[in-house]
Amino acid sequence: MRYVPLGKSGLYVSEVSLGTMTFGRETPEEEAVAILFRYLDAGGNFIDTANVYSQGVSESILGRALRGKRDNIVLATKVFFRMGEGPYDGGASRKHILKAVFDSLKRLQTDYIDLYQIHCFDAFTPLEETFETLAYLVERGYIRYVGVSNYTGWQITKVVSLCEKYGFPRPISAQMQYSLVERNIEYEVIPACYDGGLSIMAWGPLGGGFLSGKYTPHTPPKEGRIAQAKKDWEEAWERRATEKNFQILETVRNLAEKYGKTIPQVALNWLLTRKDVIPILGVRTLAQLEDNLGCVGWRLAEEDVALLDAVSAPPEIYPYRFIQWAQGLVYREEFLPR
């Protein structure tokens, strides 16, 4: 397992993170603990959860399991989604964050959280309020680093500028949906992260299970995350079952045969070739984790990365295609720096 810096920080994390959204929901505690310990035995040190995962149960499972192991773990959790029915039981307000962080600390049985992330952009709370509150928590040692999740590119850039202006701790990561079947963050989010010094934590790296290889066209699944997803959810069958996505899947399948790997291992390895991207392994079973861990320790050849890039490329849209066209007119090859 390789270790990489998280954003512009001195925090080094394993090249793949363990996601725990299934803990206490699809995955009972005994198997969840077995998954956790296997990940740690493989050299992983970066564990991601959220207060909303199973309404706190995921955090509680981690709190019990990590006793005596805390100092060697980079523990990340999140705040935003509803934890109750009251007006202050969700969002990124000072009132909700201050309640939520201490609730998470109690469930996690720890004195501090390594990475505290705002789980989604809050359109109804001033950014100054949110990030001043996070700065307060960093100053007092309750959290060590700050991250964002499910933000647009302009929102990330605005947050970075705000933190620079007021001296707040800058976010070091953005947790975003990213996979071979969902590359839209490449338009704005990834450039904003590169500019602001944030790493990408990739949730849904297998497209909600689509890149497991078990799906076929015109046959909606009867079980699994995609089958359970509502039609408006990001990983719903209606979003995944496109002709292009099945072409991507077929290309991954062919490369898996070439390398003697599984389809998920190839799809995850493609993410490991991307700059500053850390896939989050969101597994339900120990067997799935064992398979996913096979994505590390090797690399796709450049020509195969290019093949996957081409088959999964997002559409060329304005103004990006216009900018690329215009650059070619103005900056001819003979004018470029040598």
Residues annotated catalytic, as ranges: 53
- d(CA 276, CA 257) in angstroms, rounded, equals 27
Kindly state the tokens that stand for 292: 């996913």
Q: In sequence order, which residues have a C-beta less than 8 Å from that of residue 270 and are 6 or more positions away?
A: 180, 300, 305, 308
Q: Are 2 and 14 in contact (CB under 8 A)?
A: yes
- d(CA 292, CA 44) in angstroms, rounded, equals 12
End-to-end CA distance of the chain: 37
What's the chain's Rg over C-alpha atoms? 20
Q: How many CA atoms lie within 13 A of 241 on its CB side?
A: 14
> Which of helix, strand or coil describes residue 58?
helix
Distance of CA 11 to the CA centre of its chain: 17
- By the 10 Å C-beta count (0-12 exposed, 13-18 middle, 19+ buried), 170 is classed as buried
Q: Are 240 and 208 in contact (CB under 8 A)?
A: yes
- d(CA 54, CA 131) in angstroms, rounded, equals 26
**Which DSSP string do the residues of 66-134 spell out, in sequence order?**
TTTTGGG-EEEEEE-S-SSSSTTSSSS-HHHHHHHHHHHHHHHT-S-EEEEEESS--TTS-HHHHHHHH
- d(CA 336, CA 300) in angstroms, rounded, equals 30
- d(CA 41, CA 35) in angstroms, rounded, equals 10
Q: How far is CA 89 from CA 123, 133, 290, in A?
A: 16, 16, 37
